[in-house]
């Protein structure tokens, strides 16, 4: 990986997120939103946070994809962290689904009360 960076970025992106010197900053080719991603995202295909379309993260000049190779222990740590985050997200989704059902039931009762009130008039 190149030791020197030609560009110096501001310390915050437009949405207030901190931008580190090692981050890749680029514009979505579809909607022109400025995107910021950790250097380990170089060469990956991601979804634009603005328009949702597929975007290929550029590989900075002087960087080789082999610069991103990790040892098996680090990959395993990331895998376990990803699984934990997935489990937390699944639990959160289940809670939100239950809350949605509760709100829908409450809404149905309220609609029935309003309909009965209008019928009595």
Q: Structural domain boundaries of the chain?
A: 1-69, 70-121
pLDDT on residue 18:
79
Answer yes or no: is pLDDT of 61 > 80: yes
Structure tokens, 19: 């931008």
Answer yes or no: is pLDDT of 56 > 50: yes
pLDDT tens readout for residues 30-47:
999 999 988 888 888 999
pTM, entire model: 0.46
Answer yes or no: is pLDDT of 87 > 80: yes
CB 49 within 8 A of CB 70: no
By DSSP bridging, strand 45-47 and strand 24-27 are unpaired
């Amino acid at each position: 990986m190149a030791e020197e960076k030609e560009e110096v970025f501001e310390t915050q992106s437009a949405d207030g997120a901190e931008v580190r010197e090692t981050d890749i900053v680029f514009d979505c080719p579809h909607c022109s939103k400025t995107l910021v991603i950790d250097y380990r995202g170089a060469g990956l295909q991601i979804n634009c946070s603005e328009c949702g379309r597929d975007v290929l993260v550029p590989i900075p000049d002087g960087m080789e994809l082999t610069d991103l190779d990790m040892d098996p222990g680090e990959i395993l740590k990331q895998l376990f962290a990803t699984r934990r985050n997935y489990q937390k997200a699944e639990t959160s989704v289940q809670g939100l689904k239950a809350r949605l059902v509760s709100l829908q039931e409450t809404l149905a009762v309220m609609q029935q009360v309003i309909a009965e009130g209008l019928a009595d008039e």
